[in-house]
Structure 1
Amino acid sequence: MFEIVLLSVASLAAGALNAIAGGGSFLTFPALVYTGMAPIPANATSAVAVFPAYLSGTLGFIKELKSFGLKPLLMLTLLSILGGVLGAGLLLVTPSEVFSIIVPYLLLFATALFAFGDRLTLYIAQKGKEIKSNNPWLTLLTCTYGGYFNGGLGIVLLALFSLLGFRDLNLMNGLKNLLSFILSLASILTFALADMIDWQWAGVMMVSATIGGYLGALLARRLPKDWVRKFIILIGLVMSVAFFLN
Protein backbone atom coordinates (compact mmCIF):
# COMPACT_ATOMS: atom_id res chain seq x y z
CA MET A 1 0.00 0.00 0.00
CA PHE A 2 2.86 2.38 0.80
CA GLU A 3 4.39 1.79 -2.62
CA ILE A 4 1.03 2.35 -4.35
CA VAL A 5 0.58 5.66 -2.54
CA LEU A 6 4.18 6.73 -3.14
CA LEU A 7 4.17 6.02 -6.88
CA SER A 8 0.67 7.44 -7.35
CA VAL A 9 1.61 10.70 -5.64
CA ALA A 10 4.95 10.90 -7.48
CA SER A 11 3.35 10.36 -10.90
CA LEU A 12 0.46 12.71 -10.07
CA ALA A 13 2.96 15.43 -9.20
CA ALA A 14 5.09 14.53 -12.24
CA GLY A 15 2.11 14.94 -14.57
CA ALA A 16 1.33 18.32 -13.04
CA LEU A 17 4.95 19.47 -13.29
CA ASN A 18 5.19 18.39 -16.92
CA ALA A 19 2.05 20.36 -17.73
CA ILE A 20 3.40 23.48 -16.01
CA ALA A 21 7.12 23.50 -16.72
CA GLY A 22 8.50 19.98 -17.25
CA GLY A 23 10.78 17.90 -15.07
CA GLY A 24 8.36 15.13 -14.10
CA SER A 25 11.01 12.43 -14.54
CA PHE A 26 12.83 13.88 -11.54
CA LEU A 27 10.01 12.42 -9.43
CA THR A 28 8.95 9.20 -11.17
CA PHE A 29 12.41 7.71 -11.68
CA PRO A 30 13.73 8.18 -8.10
CA ALA A 31 10.38 7.02 -6.67
CA LEU A 32 10.65 3.74 -8.57
CA VAL A 33 14.25 3.25 -7.46
CA TYR A 34 13.21 3.98 -3.86
CA THR A 35 10.72 1.10 -3.99
CA GLY A 36 13.62 -1.25 -4.69
CA MET A 37 13.40 -1.44 -8.48
CA ALA A 38 16.75 -1.65 -10.30
CA PRO A 39 17.75 1.59 -12.07
CA ILE A 40 17.41 0.30 -15.64
CA PRO A 41 13.86 -1.14 -15.26
CA ALA A 42 12.99 1.97 -13.22
CA ASN A 43 14.12 4.19 -16.10
CA ALA A 44 12.07 2.13 -18.58
CA THR A 45 8.96 2.14 -16.37
CA SER A 46 9.33 5.87 -15.72
CA ALA A 47 9.38 6.49 -19.47
CA VAL A 48 6.03 4.72 -19.75
CA ALA A 49 4.57 6.68 -16.84
CA VAL A 50 5.16 10.13 -18.40
CA PHE A 51 4.51 8.97 -21.97
CA PRO A 52 0.78 9.92 -22.48
CA ALA A 53 1.33 13.64 -21.90
CA TYR A 54 3.50 13.94 -25.02
CA LEU A 55 0.56 13.05 -27.28
CA SER A 56 -1.79 15.63 -25.79
CA GLY A 57 1.00 18.21 -26.00
CA THR A 58 1.50 17.37 -29.69
CA LEU A 59 -2.20 17.80 -30.47
CA GLY A 60 -2.08 21.26 -28.92
CA PHE A 61 0.28 22.42 -31.69
CA ILE A 62 -1.27 20.53 -34.60
CA LYS A 63 -1.78 23.75 -36.60
CA GLU A 64 1.92 24.60 -36.55
CA LEU A 65 2.90 21.02 -37.36
CA LYS A 66 0.61 20.95 -40.42
CA SER A 67 2.38 24.01 -41.80
CA PHE A 68 5.85 22.58 -41.26
CA GLY A 69 6.08 20.44 -44.38
CA LEU A 70 5.68 16.72 -44.89
CA LYS A 71 9.20 15.86 -46.07
CA PRO A 72 11.16 17.41 -43.17
CA LEU A 73 8.55 16.09 -40.73
CA LEU A 74 9.03 12.55 -42.05
CA MET A 75 12.80 12.94 -41.76
CA LEU A 76 12.53 14.05 -38.12
CA THR A 77 10.10 11.19 -37.45
CA LEU A 78 12.48 8.59 -38.86
CA LEU A 79 15.42 10.02 -36.92
CA SER A 80 13.41 10.07 -33.68
CA ILE A 81 12.37 6.42 -34.16
CA LEU A 82 15.94 5.39 -34.86
CA GLY A 83 17.26 7.44 -31.95
CA GLY A 84 14.66 6.03 -29.56
CA VAL A 85 15.56 2.46 -30.49
CA LEU A 86 19.32 3.15 -30.37
CA GLY A 87 19.06 4.85 -26.98
CA ALA A 88 16.93 2.09 -25.51
CA GLY A 89 19.24 -0.54 -26.98
CA LEU A 90 22.26 1.22 -25.52
CA LEU A 91 20.57 1.25 -22.12
CA LEU A 92 19.81 -2.47 -22.33
CA VAL A 93 23.45 -3.36 -23.00
CA THR A 94 24.70 -1.05 -20.23
CA PRO A 95 25.60 -3.12 -17.15
CA SER A 96 23.35 -2.27 -14.20
CA GLU A 97 26.37 -1.38 -12.06
CA VAL A 98 27.63 1.06 -14.68
CA PHE A 99 24.21 2.68 -15.11
CA SER A 100 23.95 3.08 -11.34
CA ILE A 101 27.20 5.07 -11.46
CA ILE A 102 26.03 7.15 -14.44
CA VAL A 103 22.57 7.98 -13.02
CA PRO A 104 23.57 10.83 -10.65
CA TYR A 105 25.56 12.49 -13.45
CA LEU A 106 22.58 12.18 -15.81
CA LEU A 107 20.28 13.67 -13.17
CA LEU A 108 22.73 16.52 -12.55
CA PHE A 109 23.09 17.11 -16.30
CA ALA A 110 19.30 17.17 -16.74
CA THR A 111 18.95 19.54 -13.78
CA ALA A 112 21.54 21.90 -15.25
CA LEU A 113 19.75 21.81 -18.59
CA PHE A 114 16.48 22.63 -16.88
CA ALA A 115 18.06 25.46 -14.88
CA PHE A 116 19.93 27.06 -17.77
CA GLY A 117 17.90 25.81 -20.72
CA ASP A 118 16.30 29.16 -21.52
CA ARG A 119 19.67 30.90 -21.55
CA LEU A 120 21.16 28.13 -23.65
CA THR A 121 18.35 28.31 -26.18
CA LEU A 122 18.63 32.12 -26.33
CA TYR A 123 22.40 31.93 -26.78
CA ILE A 124 22.08 29.40 -29.59
CA ALA A 125 19.41 31.54 -31.25
CA GLN A 126 21.68 34.59 -31.08
CA LYS A 127 24.56 32.61 -32.55
CA GLY A 128 22.36 30.88 -35.09
CA LYS A 129 24.13 32.21 -38.16
CA GLU A 130 27.48 31.01 -36.89
CA ILE A 131 26.52 27.52 -35.74
CA LYS A 132 23.40 26.82 -37.78
CA SER A 133 23.42 23.26 -39.09
CA ASN A 134 21.05 20.90 -40.88
CA ASN A 135 23.15 17.87 -40.00
CA PRO A 136 20.76 14.97 -39.22
CA TRP A 137 23.37 13.49 -36.89
CA LEU A 138 22.58 16.20 -34.33
CA THR A 139 18.93 15.16 -34.27
CA LEU A 140 19.83 11.50 -34.09
CA LEU A 141 22.23 12.11 -31.19
CA THR A 142 19.59 14.07 -29.27
CA CYS A 143 16.92 11.42 -29.82
CA THR A 144 19.37 8.71 -28.77
CA TYR A 145 19.87 10.57 -25.50
CA GLY A 146 16.10 10.68 -25.06
CA GLY A 147 15.80 6.94 -25.64
CA TYR A 148 18.59 6.30 -23.14
CA PHE A 149 17.50 8.72 -20.39
CA ASN A 150 14.36 10.84 -20.59
CA GLY A 151 15.42 13.55 -18.13
CA GLY A 152 15.84 17.02 -19.61
CA LEU A 153 14.78 15.82 -23.07
CA GLY A 154 12.48 18.78 -23.77
CA ILE A 155 15.22 21.33 -23.12
CA VAL A 156 17.71 19.38 -25.25
CA LEU A 157 15.23 19.27 -28.15
CA LEU A 158 14.47 23.00 -27.91
CA ALA A 159 18.20 23.73 -27.94
CA LEU A 160 18.58 21.45 -30.96
CA PHE A 161 15.85 23.26 -32.91
CA SER A 162 17.46 26.61 -32.13
CA LEU A 163 20.75 25.22 -33.37
CA LEU A 164 19.06 24.10 -36.59
CA GLY A 165 17.73 27.61 -37.17
CA PHE A 166 14.12 27.34 -35.94
CA ARG A 167 12.66 30.54 -34.47
CA ASP A 168 8.89 29.90 -34.19
CA LEU A 169 8.48 28.89 -30.52
CA ASN A 170 5.07 27.30 -31.06
CA LEU A 171 6.44 25.15 -33.88
CA MET A 172 9.46 24.25 -31.76
CA ASN A 173 7.21 23.17 -28.88
CA GLY A 174 5.04 21.16 -31.25
CA LEU A 175 8.05 19.38 -32.73
CA LYS A 176 9.48 18.86 -29.24
CA ASN A 177 6.31 17.08 -28.10
CA LEU A 178 6.00 15.10 -31.33
CA LEU A 179 9.59 13.85 -31.30
CA SER A 180 9.34 13.09 -27.58
CA PHE A 181 6.20 11.05 -28.23
CA ILE A 182 7.68 9.12 -31.17
CA LEU A 183 11.08 8.37 -29.66
CA SER A 184 9.47 7.46 -26.32
CA LEU A 185 7.14 5.06 -28.13
CA ALA A 186 10.09 3.50 -29.95
CA SER A 187 12.11 3.15 -26.75
CA ILE A 188 9.12 1.77 -24.80
CA LEU A 189 8.52 -0.91 -27.45
CA THR A 190 12.21 -1.82 -27.25
CA PHE A 191 12.05 -1.99 -23.45
CA ALA A 192 8.87 -4.07 -23.68
CA LEU A 193 10.49 -6.61 -26.00
CA ALA A 194 13.34 -6.92 -23.50
CA ASP A 195 10.80 -7.32 -20.66
CA MET A 196 12.22 -4.33 -18.79
CA ILE A 197 8.92 -2.62 -17.91
CA ASP A 198 6.95 -3.27 -14.75
CA TRP A 199 3.51 -2.94 -16.35
CA GLN A 200 1.65 -3.14 -13.04
CA TRP A 201 3.33 -0.02 -11.70
CA ALA A 202 3.40 1.62 -15.12
CA GLY A 203 -0.40 1.34 -15.40
CA VAL A 204 -0.95 2.89 -11.97
CA MET A 205 1.48 5.70 -12.72
CA MET A 206 0.09 6.46 -16.18
CA VAL A 207 -3.39 7.01 -14.73
CA SER A 208 -2.04 9.25 -11.96
CA ALA A 209 0.21 11.18 -14.36
CA THR A 210 -2.70 11.80 -16.73
CA ILE A 211 -4.82 13.17 -13.87
CA GLY A 212 -1.86 15.24 -12.71
CA GLY A 213 -1.42 16.65 -16.20
CA TYR A 214 -5.02 17.86 -16.22
CA LEU A 215 -4.68 19.42 -12.76
CA GLY A 216 -1.35 20.94 -13.75
CA ALA A 217 -2.96 22.61 -16.75
CA LEU A 218 -5.46 24.24 -14.38
CA LEU A 219 -2.73 25.28 -11.93
CA ALA A 220 -0.53 26.64 -14.71
CA ARG A 221 -2.74 29.70 -14.95
CA ARG A 222 -2.38 30.50 -11.24
CA LEU A 223 1.09 29.49 -10.09
CA PRO A 224 4.11 31.69 -10.91
CA LYS A 225 6.13 29.62 -13.36
CA ASP A 226 9.39 30.81 -11.83
CA TRP A 227 8.43 29.27 -8.48
CA VAL A 228 7.70 25.95 -10.13
CA ARG A 229 10.99 26.00 -12.04
CA LYS A 230 12.94 26.66 -8.84
CA PHE A 231 11.09 23.84 -7.10
CA ILE A 232 11.94 21.41 -9.91
CA ILE A 233 15.59 22.48 -9.88
CA LEU A 234 15.67 21.91 -6.12
CA ILE A 235 14.20 18.43 -6.60
CA GLY A 236 16.78 17.65 -9.28
CA LEU A 237 19.66 18.76 -7.06
CA VAL A 238 18.38 16.82 -4.05
CA MET A 239 17.88 13.67 -6.12
CA SER A 240 21.33 14.04 -7.70
CA VAL A 241 22.97 14.35 -4.28
CA ALA A 242 20.97 11.38 -2.96
CA PHE A 243 22.11 9.17 -5.85
CA PHE A 244 25.70 10.37 -5.49
CA LEU A 245 25.66 9.46 -1.79
CA ASN A 246 24.01 6.11 -2.51
Structure 2
Amino acid sequence: MDLATTALLAASGLGAGLVNAIAGGGTFFTFSALIAAGLPPITANATSAVAVTPANLASAWAYRRELAANLRRFAALGAVSLAGGLLGAFILTTTDNAAFRLLVPWLLLFATLLFAASPQIVALARSIGKAEGKHPSRRAWIGGLTFQFLVATYGGFFGAGMGIVMLAALAITEGEDFHLINSAKHLCSTVIQLVAVVLFIAAGLVSWHETFIVGAASVIGGYAGVAFGRRLPAPVIRWLVIAVGALLTLYFFMR
Protein backbone atom coordinates (compact mmCIF):
# COMPACT_ATOMS: atom_id res chain seq x y z
CA MET A 1 0.00 0.00 0.00
CA ASP A 2 1.46 3.37 -1.03
CA LEU A 3 1.58 6.48 1.12
CA ALA A 4 -1.24 8.23 -0.75
CA THR A 5 -3.64 5.32 -0.20
CA THR A 6 -2.69 5.12 3.47
CA ALA A 7 -3.32 8.86 3.85
CA LEU A 8 -6.69 8.53 2.08
CA LEU A 9 -7.81 5.70 4.40
CA ALA A 10 -6.62 7.57 7.50
CA ALA A 11 -8.45 10.71 6.38
CA SER A 12 -11.65 8.73 5.77
CA GLY A 13 -11.45 7.19 9.24
CA LEU A 14 -10.81 10.58 10.81
CA GLY A 15 -13.75 12.07 8.93
CA ALA A 16 -16.02 9.15 9.80
CA GLY A 17 -15.24 9.37 13.51
CA LEU A 18 -15.77 13.12 13.41
CA VAL A 19 -19.16 13.15 11.68
CA ASN A 20 -20.43 10.08 13.55
CA ALA A 21 -19.79 11.87 16.83
CA ILE A 22 -21.84 14.86 15.65
CA ALA A 23 -24.45 13.83 13.08
CA GLY A 24 -23.78 10.32 11.72
CA GLY A 25 -22.98 9.26 8.16
CA GLY A 26 -19.34 8.21 8.51
CA THR A 27 -19.94 5.14 6.35
CA PHE A 28 -19.98 7.38 3.27
CA PHE A 29 -16.35 8.34 3.90
CA THR A 30 -14.94 4.94 4.85
CA PHE A 31 -16.78 2.88 2.25
CA SER A 32 -15.83 5.16 -0.64
CA ALA A 33 -12.18 5.35 0.49
CA LEU A 34 -11.92 1.56 0.74
CA ILE A 35 -13.41 1.23 -2.76
CA ALA A 36 -10.84 3.77 -4.00
CA ALA A 37 -8.12 1.71 -2.31
CA GLY A 38 -9.06 -1.18 -4.60
CA LEU A 39 -11.14 -3.40 -2.33
CA PRO A 40 -14.15 -5.25 -3.82
CA PRO A 41 -17.49 -3.70 -2.77
CA ILE A 42 -18.49 -6.41 -0.30
CA THR A 43 -15.03 -6.47 1.30
CA ALA A 44 -15.09 -2.67 1.49
CA ASN A 45 -18.49 -2.75 3.20
CA ALA A 46 -17.43 -5.41 5.72
CA THR A 47 -14.08 -3.75 6.39
CA SER A 48 -15.77 -0.39 6.95
CA ALA A 49 -18.18 -1.95 9.47
CA VAL A 50 -15.33 -3.55 11.44
CA ALA A 51 -13.12 -0.45 11.31
CA VAL A 52 -15.64 1.94 12.87
CA THR A 53 -16.77 -0.48 15.58
CA PRO A 54 -14.31 0.72 18.30
CA ALA A 55 -15.45 4.34 17.92
CA ASN A 56 -19.11 3.32 17.99
CA LEU A 57 -18.57 1.20 21.10
CA ALA A 58 -17.08 4.24 22.80
CA SER A 59 -20.26 6.19 22.01
CA ALA A 60 -22.41 3.41 23.44
CA TRP A 61 -20.28 3.36 26.59
CA ALA A 62 -21.21 6.98 27.22
CA TYR A 63 -24.80 5.80 27.77
CA ARG A 64 -23.90 2.93 30.10
CA ARG A 65 -25.94 4.30 33.02
CA GLU A 66 -29.13 4.64 30.98
CA LEU A 67 -28.58 1.20 29.47
CA ALA A 68 -28.00 -0.43 32.85
CA ALA A 69 -31.17 1.17 34.23
CA ASN A 70 -33.32 0.00 31.30
CA LEU A 71 -31.88 -3.40 30.36
CA ARG A 72 -35.16 -5.22 30.97
CA ARG A 73 -37.10 -2.59 29.02
CA PHE A 74 -34.67 -2.87 26.09
CA ALA A 75 -34.56 -6.70 26.04
CA ALA A 76 -37.07 -7.10 23.20
CA LEU A 77 -35.40 -4.35 21.15
CA GLY A 78 -32.02 -6.01 21.63
CA ALA A 79 -33.42 -9.38 20.56
CA VAL A 80 -35.00 -8.14 17.33
CA SER A 81 -31.88 -6.05 16.59
CA LEU A 82 -29.74 -9.15 17.01
CA ALA A 83 -31.99 -11.20 14.72
CA GLY A 84 -32.25 -8.48 12.07
CA GLY A 85 -28.55 -7.67 12.13
CA LEU A 86 -27.71 -11.35 11.78
CA LEU A 87 -30.10 -11.73 8.83
CA GLY A 88 -28.77 -8.64 7.05
CA ALA A 89 -25.14 -9.66 7.53
CA PHE A 90 -25.91 -13.20 6.36
CA ILE A 91 -27.55 -11.87 3.20
CA LEU A 92 -24.41 -9.82 2.51
CA THR A 93 -22.13 -12.85 2.96
CA THR A 94 -24.21 -14.79 0.40
CA THR A 95 -24.25 -11.95 -2.14
CA ASP A 96 -21.60 -11.82 -4.85
CA ASN A 97 -19.64 -8.67 -5.66
CA ALA A 98 -21.26 -8.19 -9.07
CA ALA A 99 -24.76 -8.13 -7.58
CA PHE A 100 -23.72 -5.93 -4.67
CA ARG A 101 -22.00 -3.50 -7.03
CA LEU A 102 -25.35 -3.01 -8.79
CA LEU A 103 -27.02 -2.31 -5.44
CA VAL A 104 -24.40 0.17 -4.17
CA PRO A 105 -25.67 3.33 -5.97
CA TRP A 106 -29.25 2.59 -4.85
CA LEU A 107 -28.13 2.00 -1.27
CA LEU A 108 -26.14 5.25 -1.32
CA LEU A 109 -29.12 7.11 -2.81
CA PHE A 110 -31.40 5.72 -0.10
CA ALA A 111 -28.99 6.70 2.66
CA THR A 112 -28.46 10.19 1.20
CA LEU A 113 -32.21 10.80 1.03
CA LEU A 114 -32.50 9.64 4.65
CA PHE A 115 -29.95 12.23 5.75
CA ALA A 116 -31.66 14.93 3.69
CA ALA A 117 -35.03 14.11 5.27
CA SER A 118 -33.67 13.59 8.79
CA PRO A 119 -35.35 16.71 10.33
CA GLN A 120 -38.74 15.52 9.09
CA ILE A 121 -38.04 11.96 10.27
CA VAL A 122 -37.03 13.19 13.72
CA ALA A 123 -40.15 15.38 13.90
CA LEU A 124 -42.32 12.41 12.93
CA ALA A 125 -40.60 10.25 15.54
CA ARG A 126 -41.28 12.81 18.24
CA SER A 127 -44.94 13.18 17.27
CA ILE A 128 -45.44 9.41 17.36
CA GLY A 129 -43.69 9.17 20.72
CA LYS A 130 -45.81 11.99 22.14
CA ALA A 131 -49.02 10.37 20.91
CA GLU A 132 -48.14 6.96 22.37
CA GLY A 133 -46.74 8.28 25.67
CA LYS A 134 -44.62 6.25 28.05
CA HIS A 135 -46.74 3.11 27.66
CA PRO A 136 -47.50 2.43 23.97
CA SER A 137 -50.39 0.18 22.99
CA ARG A 138 -49.66 -3.48 22.29
CA ARG A 139 -50.33 -2.94 18.58
CA ALA A 140 -47.96 0.04 18.43
CA TRP A 141 -45.32 -1.86 20.40
CA ILE A 142 -45.44 -4.86 18.04
CA GLY A 143 -45.39 -2.50 15.05
CA GLY A 144 -42.35 -0.71 16.48
CA LEU A 145 -40.50 -3.98 17.04
CA THR A 146 -41.30 -5.12 13.49
CA PHE A 147 -40.03 -1.82 12.14
CA GLN A 148 -36.88 -2.19 14.24
CA PHE A 149 -36.30 -5.67 12.82
CA LEU A 150 -36.41 -4.28 9.27
CA VAL A 151 -34.05 -1.44 10.24
CA ALA A 152 -31.66 -3.94 11.82
CA THR A 153 -31.72 -6.11 8.69
CA TYR A 154 -30.78 -3.09 6.58
CA GLY A 155 -28.10 -2.17 9.12
CA GLY A 156 -26.53 -5.62 9.03
CA PHE A 157 -26.47 -5.50 5.23
CA PHE A 158 -25.23 -1.94 4.63
CA GLY A 159 -25.91 0.43 7.52
CA ALA A 160 -25.55 4.00 6.21
CA GLY A 161 -28.45 6.06 7.56
CA MET A 162 -29.58 3.27 9.89
CA GLY A 163 -29.57 5.48 12.99
CA ILE A 164 -31.97 8.01 11.48
CA VAL A 165 -34.59 5.40 10.55
CA MET A 166 -34.11 3.75 13.93
CA LEU A 167 -35.29 6.93 15.66
CA ALA A 168 -38.76 6.44 14.18
CA ALA A 169 -38.93 2.81 15.31
CA LEU A 170 -37.75 3.62 18.83
CA ALA A 171 -40.14 6.54 19.22
CA ILE A 172 -43.00 4.08 18.82
CA THR A 173 -41.75 1.71 21.52
CA GLU A 174 -39.99 4.15 23.88
CA GLY A 175 -42.07 7.34 23.75
CA GLU A 176 -40.60 10.84 23.36
CA ASP A 177 -37.87 10.79 26.02
CA PHE A 178 -34.77 11.84 24.03
CA HIS A 179 -32.21 10.26 26.35
CA LEU A 180 -34.16 7.00 26.51
CA ILE A 181 -34.45 6.85 22.72
CA ASN A 182 -30.78 7.77 22.21
CA SER A 183 -29.56 5.16 24.70
CA ALA A 184 -31.80 2.54 23.05
CA LYS A 185 -30.44 3.57 19.64
CA HIS A 186 -26.84 3.11 20.80
CA LEU A 187 -27.69 -0.30 22.28
CA CYS A 188 -29.43 -1.52 19.13
CA SER A 189 -26.77 -0.09 16.82
CA THR A 190 -24.04 -1.78 18.85
CA VAL A 191 -25.84 -5.14 18.82
CA ILE A 192 -26.45 -4.93 15.07
CA GLN A 193 -22.88 -3.94 14.34
CA LEU A 194 -21.28 -6.53 16.60
CA VAL A 195 -23.25 -9.46 15.22
CA ALA A 196 -22.55 -8.28 11.66
CA VAL A 197 -18.85 -7.88 12.42
CA VAL A 198 -18.61 -11.41 13.86
CA LEU A 199 -20.26 -12.81 10.74
CA PHE A 200 -18.07 -10.77 8.39
CA ILE A 201 -14.92 -11.92 10.16
CA ALA A 202 -16.06 -15.55 10.17
CA ALA A 203 -16.79 -15.32 6.43
CA GLY A 204 -13.30 -13.91 5.76
CA LEU A 205 -14.63 -10.68 4.23
CA VAL A 206 -12.44 -8.28 6.21
CA SER A 207 -9.19 -6.77 4.91
CA TRP A 208 -7.27 -6.25 8.15
CA HIS A 209 -4.52 -3.89 7.06
CA GLU A 210 -7.05 -1.30 5.90
CA THR A 211 -9.17 -1.98 8.99
CA PHE A 212 -6.39 -0.98 11.38
CA ILE A 213 -5.64 2.25 9.52
CA VAL A 214 -9.29 3.36 9.25
CA GLY A 215 -10.14 2.14 12.75
CA ALA A 216 -7.32 3.97 14.52
CA ALA A 217 -8.12 7.19 12.68
CA SER A 218 -11.86 6.87 13.42
CA VAL A 219 -11.18 6.67 17.17
CA ILE A 220 -9.14 9.88 16.97
CA GLY A 221 -11.90 11.48 14.89
CA GLY A 222 -14.52 10.43 17.42
CA TYR A 223 -12.67 12.16 20.25
CA ALA A 224 -12.06 15.25 18.11
CA GLY A 225 -15.73 15.31 17.13
CA VAL A 226 -16.82 15.99 20.69
CA ALA A 227 -14.77 19.18 20.87
CA PHE A 228 -15.26 20.15 17.24
CA GLY A 229 -19.00 19.65 17.45
CA ARG A 230 -19.27 22.44 20.00
CA ARG A 231 -17.96 24.91 17.43
CA LEU A 232 -19.62 23.66 14.25
CA PRO A 233 -23.42 23.20 14.22
CA ALA A 234 -24.68 19.68 13.49
CA PRO A 235 -26.73 20.87 10.43
CA VAL A 236 -23.49 21.99 8.75
CA ILE A 237 -22.02 18.51 9.23
CA ARG A 238 -25.27 16.92 8.08
CA TRP A 239 -25.27 18.89 4.83
CA LEU A 240 -21.62 18.01 4.29
CA VAL A 241 -22.56 14.33 4.61
CA ILE A 242 -25.48 14.84 2.21
CA ALA A 243 -23.19 16.51 -0.34
CA VAL A 244 -20.66 13.68 -0.10
CA GLY A 245 -23.44 11.10 -0.35
CA ALA A 246 -24.93 12.80 -3.41
CA LEU A 247 -21.55 12.93 -5.18
CA LEU A 248 -20.84 9.28 -4.37
CA THR A 249 -24.31 8.24 -5.53
CA LEU A 250 -23.81 10.03 -8.84
CA TYR A 251 -20.33 8.52 -9.21
CA PHE A 252 -21.50 4.94 -8.64
CA PHE A 253 -24.50 5.37 -10.95
CA MET A 254 -22.13 6.54 -13.72
CA ARG A 255 -19.59 3.72 -13.24
TM-score tier after normalising by the smaller chain length: over 0.9
- Structure 1: gaps of 5 or more residues: none
Q: TM-score, normalised by structure 1?
A: 0.94
1:240 and 2:249 correspond: yes
The structural deviation recorded for 1:93 is 1.4
SS, match of residue 249 in structure 2: helix
Distance in 2 (CA, whole Å) between partners of 1:72 and 1:49 is 30
**What's 2:85 paired with?**
84
1:184 Cα offset (Å): 0.5
Residue aligning to 1:66:
68
User: Cα RMSD over matched residues?
Assistant: 1.7
Q: Is the 8 A contact 1:57 1:174 kept in 2?
A: no
1:112 is the counterpart of 2:121: no
Write out per-residue CA displacement over residues 179-209 of structure 1, whole angstroms, 9 at most, x where no aligned residue: 1111111001101111000011111111100
Amino acid at match of 1:150: G
Cα separation, 2, equivalents of 1:162 and 1:12: 31
Match of 2:124 in 1: 123
Q: How far 1:95 sits from its partner (Å)? A: 2.5
Task: Answer yes or no: is 1:162 the counterpart of 2:171.
Answer: yes
Using structure 2 for the length normalisation, give the TM-score. 0.90
What is the CA distance between 1:26 and its match in structure 2?
0.7
Partner amino acid for 2:40? A
**What stretches of structure 1 move > 6 A for 4+ residues in a row?**
none
Q: Which residue of 2 aligns with 1:176?
A: 185
Mean Cα deviation higher: 31-40 or 137-146: 137-146
Sequence identity (%): 38
Q: Residues 175 and 168 from structure 1, CA distance in 2 versus in 1: closer, same or farther, beyond 3 angstroms? A: same
Alignment of 1:189-200 (within 5 A): 189-200=198-209
**Kept after mapping to 2: 8 A contact 1:121/1:162:** no
In the alignment of these two chains, the number of paired residues is 245
Match of 1:133 among 137, 140, 161: 140
Gaps of 5+ in 2: none
1:26·1:236 contact (CA, 8 Å) conserved in 2? Answer: yes
1:143 counterpart residue number: 152
Residue deviations 1:94-130 (CA, integer Å, cap 9, x gap): 2221211111111111111111122113124324548
1:231 aligns with 2:240: yes
Alignment check: 8 A CA contact 1:125 1:165 kept? no
